[in-house]
Structure 1
Amino acid sequence: MPEILADTVQASTAPKTDLRELVLELVLRTTTAILLGAFAYGAIQHWLTDPSRITLLLLVLASCLTLGLSLFARVPKKRDWRPITVLCSLGGTYYFVGIELAPGAHLAPEAFGAVLQVAGIAWQIYAKLSLRFSFGILPANRGIVSSGAYRFMRHPIYLSYLTADIGFLLTNFGMQNLLVYAGLCMLQVMRIHREEALLSDDPEYRQYREKVRFRVLPGIY
């Protein structure tokens, strides 16, 4: 339904729309919990066969922070439900199902990859604390935040993902993982632009965008 007509919808139809979105939200969160649990179980089984692979445990931790916390995020008033946006968001969220958990090539020592993952996880925690649970899977206007991590870039959570992903890939390198993470990067860029297109309707966000120029990488992007 076009947004321009939203105010003309009769009150009797509003509960149906709300119910439909609540059902979709429930399905989305339930699917997330099931996939995350299955992934965590598989990763831990691989780690038990080789406890030196600390990057596997950190991958599980990072995934739990990324998705687990989204299960408890508040439902926003406005989200982007367009098919292309939903596909980009779901692909960028559930990419972990394509990760090869078996040992791969070490392009860097395990400890180095783990340090990058810890740095990414720490930055993710800081960024999400800055948001105070105003985050989720689909692009939405959950209120404009310009403090904390958001003083430095407009999408600091994506920087945390990138840092942790690079750490894992360097110590678990393989063609499958390379393709998964390359595809993930493209999806995340698309998600960022979709989010900004939605938020740009808010005058407060436009002012914030003028103040904080870069999206993810200061001085670059």
Structure 2
Amino acid sequence: MRRAALTSLFVLAAASTFAGALVRVDHAIHTGAAHLWLAAGFSFLKVAVAVGFAVFVFGRGPAVAPCRTPVAFAACALAIGSPFALEPPTRAAGAAIAGEIIAMLGCAFLLRSAASLGRSFSVLPEARRLVTDGPYRYVRHPVYLGELTAFAGLVVASATPRNVLCAAVFALAQATRMRLEEKALASAFPEYADYAARTGRLLPRFSTSVRPRPREEPA
């Protein structure tokens, strides 16, 4: 029941955003305004993410360590709602183009990371399976990294006060989700501690230790 509700929510969000994007495309065709094309691209990015999440939610497996606390629900609601509260670009500018390129790269990375999760994908910060391959070889939360990158790009594209506020709310919600997810994974998988020790949360952790040289024995 909860899976169907979440899938339906993402599908409805995608459909609503897609309809708005088509309206902007129609206006752009008739007016030739470049900023309307940027606004349409802005909306299509959000559609791609919503559709991808609907597919992953529908096909996910059962949770090993569920997390159903009010804080978890609130963090997820804020993280999901924040992108749809963003204001699109209102004029064509270098920042808008650069921001949408950043957002597209972030979207591509988060969808690739979510594909690595497969049936372990979660919306709530739950544990289904410990995934350590693909992008998870380098960072513990590549999906969140992709989402944060995409969100940052959208804010660069349209840096209004409202969008900056949305970014702050989104970052706080994602930080909360990461903390809760790590707690769930640590409780479900004892080997998670070793994985976390050698893998950065959002940035790759490169070892700087130098192997000591062998001590020379006197002749």
TM-score, normalization by structure 1: 0.77
TM alignment of 1:1-221, pairs within 5 A = 23-50=1-28, 51-53=36-38, 54-65=41-52, 67-78=53-64, 79-101=66-88, 103-104=89-90, 108-201=94-187, 202-212=189-199, 214-218=200-204
CA contact (8 A) 1:80 1:140 kept: yes
CA contact (8 A) 1:76 1:142 kept: yes
CA contact (8 A) 1:108 1:170 kept: no
Q: What are structure 1's unaligned runs of at least 5 residues? A: 1-22
Classify 1:150/1:135 alpha carbon distance in 2 versus 1 (closer, same or farther; 3 Å): same
* Bigger-Rg structure (1/2): 2
Q: Give 1:106 deviation, angstroms.
A: 6.6
TM-score, normalization by structure 2: 0.78
Q: Give 1:46 deviation, angstroms.
A: 3.0
Q: Give 1:35 deviation, angstroms.
A: 2.8
CA contact (8 A) 2:11 2:50 kept: no
Query: Per the alignment, in what secondary structure is the counterpart of residue 145 of structure 1?
Result: coil
> d(CA) in 1 for partners of 2:15 and 2:195?
37
Classify 1:200/1:52 alpha carbon distance in 2 versus 1 (closer, same or farther; 3 Å): same
Partner deviation per Cα, 1:18-75 (whole Å, 9 max, x = no partner) = xxxxx3333333233223322332243234323521333223323433x333332313
> d(CA) in 2 for partners of 1:135 and 1:124?
12
Query: Per the alignment, in what secondary structure is the counterpart of residue 94 of structure 1?
Result: helix
CA contact (8 A) 2:61 2:119 kept: no
CA contact (8 A) 2:24 2:37 kept: no
> d(CA) in 2 for partners of 1:174 and 1:46?
20
Classify 1:90/1:75 alpha carbon distance in 2 versus 1 (closer, same or farther; 3 Å): farther
Report the AA paired with residue 95 of structure 1. Answer: S
Report the AA paired with residue 7 of structure 2. Answer: R
Q: Give 1:97 deviation, angstroms.
A: 3.1
Q: Give 1:107 deviation, angstroms.
A: 7.1
- Which residue in 2 is equivalent to 1:19? none
Q: Give 1:178 deviation, angstroms.
A: 1.4
- Which residue in 2 is equivalent to 1:6? none
Q: What are structure 2's unaligned runs of at least 5 residues? A: 29-35, 206-219
- Which residue in 2 is equivalent to 1:13? none
CA contact (8 A) 1:159 1:216 kept: yes
CA contact (8 A) 1:120 1:162 kept: yes
Classify 1:43/1:185 alpha carbon distance in 2 versus 1 (closer, same or farther; 3 Å): farther
Q: Give 1:203 deviation, angstroms.
A: 0.3
Query: Per the alignment, in what secondary structure is the counterpart of residue 119 of structure 2?
Result: coil
Query: Per the alignment, in what secondary structure is the counterpart of residue 136 of structure 2?
Result: helix
Q: Give 1:105 deviation, angstroms.
A: 6.4
How many pairs were matched up?
194
Classify 1:193/1:106 alpha carbon distance in 2 versus 1 (closer, same or farther; 3 Å): farther
